[in-house]
Amino acid sequence: MPGLPLAVSGLLLAFAGANVIDLPSLAVAPGTLTVLSGASGSGKSTLLYLLSGLLRPDAGTIAWAETDLAKLGESQRDRWRRKQAGFIFQNFHLIEEMSPLDNVLVRIWLDGLSAASKKERALDLLHQLDVPTERASVAKLSRGQQQRVAIARALIGNPSVIFADEPTASLDAVAGETVAAVLQRLAHEERRTVVVATHDPAIRALADQIIMLDHGKRETAS
């Protein structure tokens, strides 16, 4: 599924009278890897949650193609995410006693759909990501393999947009570089729109665009 273009304008989120995010504009093209970066507390994760509709801004537009998430209610944003988005987090949120395959299929079950039709795709995703599918539980996998299970789960619905929040923060350097390469492939080869909040130099080195934040404001872009 091809990615979606993003156009942000006049984005503002305030808390306790202070601006947490103040972003006049941002454009993201499909088929690109965009990194939101900055020191701890810079607002990169908050911006990621705004762009994904997990948070609603006080002002501004967050237009994914023709859909402005800032104008949608919570249930409408939830539906948009189920249809269009996949999430990858630092904490993998896997169910340890379940197999890699069943962890990937969890999202299908939660959506109330039959997993049988998605089993072949789930196995294919795990094979592409070099995850051993014969393991009885994900607890028997390495940290890097567990993160790749989480990536497969994010992809099972064939989303147009991938959001990742510090996806390599708990991985060693080698596993982190593998995940960084997967994120780049999702953008460049599969033409998805990939937005990552991270300070990991391995991911930054592969980014098409880096948005540097300082106290919620954009500093530089490259």
pLDDT tens digits, residue range 17-75? 788 999 999 999 999 999 999 998 899 999 999 999 999 999 999 999 999 999 999 99
Q: 107: which residues sit within 8 A by CB, 6+ positions away? A: 153, 156, 157
Q: Which amino acid is at 83?
A: K
Give the residue-averaged pLDDT of 180-202: 97
Comparing 112 with 160, the larger pLDDT belongs to 160
Residue % of the chain over a pLDDT of 90: 85
Residue 17 is predicted with a pLDDT of 73
Determine the Cα–Cα distance for residues 179 and 68; give it in Å rounded to an integer.
30
Structure tokens at 167: 């996806």
Burial of 75 (0-12, 13-18, 19+ CB in 10 A): exposed
Contact 3, 48 (CB under 8 A): no
Give the residue-averaged pLDDT of 132-148: 94
Residue 92 is predicted with a pLDDT of 93
Structure tokens at 83: 């249809």
Determine the Cα–Cα distance for residues 222 and 209; give it in Å rounded to an integer.
5
Q: 65: which residues sit within 8 A by CB, 6+ positions away? A: 4, 5
Residue 114 is predicted with a pLDDT of 64
Determine the Cα–Cα distance for residues 198 and 92; give it in Å rounded to an integer.
15
Give the residue-averaged pLDDT of 148-176: 95
Q: Which residue is it, tokens 């991911």?
A: 203
pLDDT band at 221 (very low <50, low <70, confident <90, very high): very low
Give the residue-averaged pLDDT of 105-113: 77
Structure tokens at 193: 């729109």
Residue 109 has pLDDT above 80, yes or no: no
Give the residue-averaged pLDDT of 138-161: 95
CA 61 to chain centre: 20
pLDDT band at 15 (very low <50, low <70, confident <90, very high): confident
CATH 3.30.300.20 fits 30-56+74-221, yes or no: no
Q: Indicate the domain borders of the chain.
A: 30-56+74-221
pTM of the shown model: 0.93
